[in-house]
Amino acid sequence: MKSKQAEFVIIDVETTGLSPLNGDRIVEIAAMRIKNGEVAQTFESLINPECPIPAGAVNIHGITKDMIKNAPKAGQILPEIIDFVGGACIVGHNIKFDLDFVCYQLSLLGRKLQSGNPAIDTIKMAKHFLPHLSSYTLSSVTLSFGIKIKETHRALADVQLTANIFLRLLDMAEEQKLEKFQDIFEKFSVQKPNFKIENAKQETLF
């Protein structure tokens, strides 16, 4: 199967910090489904993390306690992501960060993504196809393609930017005869985290 014929779901999360194992939690999540190289569906939601948002995190994404005080909790939103992703390949810029949070918080709810979901990191792709760049942040890679940036560090905005660069990188892969999905998977995949559900503390669902 050619890579662009595969079904992809691009995911991005904004969080209270850097480590779910240290108590940091998701405050916003967005996902975008791509079929045959076209955007088919989007999903986004703020999430009440049920913990404080440090000032350093607010300075990055701009999400304040007032913005999330009436937002749904993780138990209401994250199970929807399981259905949204389905059996698609998951894509993200430094996707391991996003999956660590999604998979860990799902484990706290006694849930998990499908075990067979492949995951591809656009940073790994960018480093391969754009070796001349001095920085591989999402903004740097986006600007290298001449794509205008209206907003960053909000989940849906970052998902849209990631979708743009991912499709450009797939075009570059085809030019280098990496046309099949298996080629992309073998070169640029990352392993999904596998948190043990039975050892996790159950979070409040509602």
State pLDDT tens for residues 21-71.
999 999 999 999 999 999 999 999 999 999 999 999 999 999 999 999 999
Question: Residue 146 maps to which CATH number?
Answer: 3.30.420.10
Average pLDDT in the chain? 94
Q: Given the residues 61, 93, 128, 153, select the one marked as catalytic.
A: 153
- Gap between the Cα atoms of 17 and 14, Å rounded: 9
Residue 21 in any domain: the answer is yes
Domain that holds residue 87: 3-192
Instruction: Write the CB contacts of 29 (distance below 8 Å, at least 6 apart in sequence).
Output: 11, 12, 13, 14, 43, 44, 45, 47, 77, 78, 81, 102, 155
Neighbouring C-beta atoms of residue 62, cutoff 10 Å = 12
Residue 204 in any domain: the answer is no
Share of the chain above pLDDT 90, in %: 90
Is position 153 annotated as part of the catalytic site?
A: yes
Residue 92 in any domain: the answer is yes
Residue 162 in any domain: the answer is yes
Residue 206 in any domain: the answer is no
Residue 115 in any domain: the answer is yes
- Gap between the Cα atoms of 170 and 125, Å rounded: 9
Model confidence over 80-119: pLDDT tens digits? 999 999 999 999 999 999 999 999 999 999 999 998 899 9
Residue 199 in any domain: the answer is no
Name the domain count of the chain: 1
Q: How confident is the model at residue 197 (pLDDT cuts 50, 70, 90)?
A: confident
Q: What pTM was computed for the model?
A: 0.93
Residue 28 in any domain: the answer is yes
